């Protein structure tokens, strides 16, 4: 189940365009804010597919019927690039628990690399909806490694992947390795993955643009 928000015209497309724009990218605060806003919209859209129950709240004048989430999700993100999107999701799922995990590429050559996972802080995710956010889905390898590491914290009832930009190769790879019921919510599916596993046209290195160039 792949949901591509670029298929529908909305203000979301403006935020995504700003994320890609090399001139606007020079403002790191603006870049972080756009990651946050994109995640808020993705979170709002995916919330329509979640399970709710009927309840009542007391107003100054009586009782109002409302619908509430049956279960709060666990919001997981990949350090450090995912922090902006994590904040956007947390703005909307403000009662959710959070999980943080590190995953990085260790290159052996320009084109070959291994993905290493070194840090995990997470609540129990047993029977929860697990929402994992990362700005870029290039090969899907990092996301798969993160999912496998998260299983040490329990077996989730449902998995939702949230990303600003994805490559078709990553989505195909993850569909082959993640549970069939996994949902994918992306801002755009781009055309090409280079030999060095960079998405084109993409937007560059989201972590560097948001938090500074790493050594």
The angle, 0 to 180 degrees and rounded to 10, between the axes of the packed helices 83-92 and 28-47 is 40
Q: pLDDT value at position 114?
A: 54
Q: Let me know the angle formed at the C-alpha of 177 by 197 and 144, rounded to the nearest 5 degrees.
A: 55
How confident is the prediction for the chain on average, in pLDDT? 92
Digit-coded pLDDT (tens) for 62-91: 999 999 999 999 999 998 899 999 999 999
Count of domains forming the chain: 1
Structural domain containing residue 108: 2-211
Q: Let me know the angle formed at the C-alpha of 189 by 185 and 190, rounded to the nearest 5 degrees.
A: 155
Average pLDDT over residues 127-138: 95
Digit-coded pLDDT (tens) for 165-181: 999 999 999 999 999 99
Note the pTM of the prediction, 2 decimals. 0.91
Task: Kindly report the CATH number assigned to the domain that includes residue 61.
Answer: 3.40.50.2020
Sign of the C-alpha dihedral computed for residues 124, 122, 132 and 46 taken in this order = positive
Q: pLDDT value at position 111?
A: 45
Digit-coded pLDDT (tens) for 3-39: 999 999 999 999 999 999 999 999 999 999 999 999 9
Pairing of strands 183-189, 192-193: unpaired
State which H helix or E strand residue 64 sits in: strand 62-69
CA 122, CA 84: separation in Å to the nearest integer? 18
State the CB neighbour count (10 A cutoff) for residue 33: 17
State the CB neighbour count (10 A cutoff) for residue 167: 26
């Amino acid at each position: 189940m792949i949901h591509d928000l670029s298929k529908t015209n909305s203000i979301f497309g403006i935020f995504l365009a700003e994320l890609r724009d090399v001139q606007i990218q020079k403002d790191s605060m603006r870049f972080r804010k756009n990651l946050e806003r994109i995640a808020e919209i993705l979170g709002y859209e995916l919330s329509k597919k979640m399970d709710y129950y009927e309840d009542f709240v007391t107003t100054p004048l009586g009782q109002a019927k409302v619908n509430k989430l049956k279960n709060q999700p666990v919001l997981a993100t990949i350090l450090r690039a995912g922090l902006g999107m994590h904040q956007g999701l947390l703005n909307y799922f403000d009662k959710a628990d959070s999980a943080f995990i590190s995953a990085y590429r260790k290159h052996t050559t320009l084109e070959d690399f291994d993905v290493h996972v070194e840090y995990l802080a997470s609540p129990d995710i047993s029977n929860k909806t697990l929402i994992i956010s990362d700005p870029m889905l290039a090969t899907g390898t990092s996301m798969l490694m993160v999912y496998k590491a998260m299983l040490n914290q329990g077996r989730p009832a449902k998995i939702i992947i949230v990303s600003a930009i994805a490559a078709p190769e990553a989505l195909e790879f993850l569909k082959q390795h993640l549970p069939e019921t996994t949902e994918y919510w992306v801002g755009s599916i781009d055309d090409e993955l280079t030999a060095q596993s960079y998405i084109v046209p993409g937007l560059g290195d989201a972590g560097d643009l948001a938090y500074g160039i790493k050594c």
